[in-house]
Amino acid sequence: MKKGKKTMLAFGVLIVLLLFSGFLIAHFQQNNSRSILSVEELAINEASLDEHSLSIRGSILASAKSYRGYHYTIKQNDAYIQIEGGLVTKKYPSGDFNITIEDPDLKNVKAVYIKSKNREKHVGPF
């Protein structure tokens, strides 16, 4: 084989390896990103509400998932909380969570729900 063809072949193999590596990295990052957990994946151990704060303590039931954060919304007399999780990593080693939300709008809240994409789970009144 001529030197030019060998160089082209080596360059082609290098491009294929780089593309494959890129796909693997993208796949890993997608699977390790944050996502809203379903209500079936969560165990709520304790919840309390007063005029200015809401506290929820619980854990993720799947041992391979870790707690990453939450979002909440208050609509009229209801509070909705979405729990985020992802794969366990060194940075996120635990599925346990202890959330405290302080918001003056909590004074009107009568019911609290854990919410996933298509389901809600009532966790209070208290």
CA angle 95, 96, 100 (to 5 degrees): 130
Residue in the block written with tokens 């084989």: 1
pLDDT of 52 > 80? The answer is: yes
Please tell me the number of Cα atoms within 13 Å of 61 on its side-chain side.
9
User: pLDDT-based confidence at 124, cuts 50/70/90?
Assistant: confident
Report pLDDT digits (tens) over 21-46. Answer: 776 565 555 555 789 999 999 999 99
Q: Which residue has the higher pLDDT, 34 or 87?
A: 87
The domains of the chain are located at 1-31, 35-124
pLDDT of 5 > 80? The answer is: no
Give 43's strand partners.
59
Q: What is the pLDDT of residue 72?
A: 96
The DSSP line for 3-71 is HHHHHHHHHHHHHHHHHHHHHHHHHHHHHTS-EEPPGGGEEEEEEEE-SSEEEEEEEESSTTEEEEEEE
